[in-house]
Amino acid sequence: MALLKFATVWLSGCSGCHMSFLDLDEWLIDLASQVDFVYSPFADIKEYPEGVDLVLVEGAVNNSDNWDFIHKVRERSKILVSFGDCAVTGNVTALRNPWGSPETILQKSYIETADIHPQIPQEPGIVPTFLNRVMPVHAVVNVDVYLPGCPPDANRIRAAIEPLLRGEEPHLEGRNLIKFG
- Using CB under 6 A, list all residues that contact ligand SF4: 13-14, 16-17, 58-59, 84-86, 91-92, 150-151
Instruction: Report in angstroms how near the CB of residue 6 gets to ligand SF4 at its nearest.
Output: 19
Instruction: Report in angstroms how near the CB of residue 95 gets to ligand SF4 at its nearest.
Output: 10
Instruction: Report in angstroms how near the CB of residue 93 gets to ligand SF4 at its nearest.
Output: 6
Closest to ligand SF4 by CB, 5 or 89: 89
CB 9 within 8 A of CB 58: yes
Closest to ligand SF4 by CB, 84 or 170: 84
- DSSP readout, 36-96? EEEE-TTS---SPPS-EEEEEEESBEEEHHHHHHHHHHHHHEEEEEEESHHHHH-GGGGGG
Instruction: Report in angstroms how near the CB of residue 30 gets to ligand SF4 at its nearest.
Output: 23
CB 136 within 8 A of CB 61: yes
Instruction: Report in angstroms how near the CB of residue 127 gets to ligand SF4 at its nearest.
Output: 21
**Residue 112 exposed, middle or buried by CB count within 10 Å (0-12, 13-18, 19+):** exposed
Closest to ligand SF4 by CB, 4 or 14: 14
Residue 38's closest CA among 65, 78, 83?
78
Closest to ligand SF4 by CB, 16 or 170: 16
- Euclidean distance between the first and the last CA atom of the chain, given in angstroms as a whole number: 39
Closest to ligand SF4 by CB, 9 or 38: 9
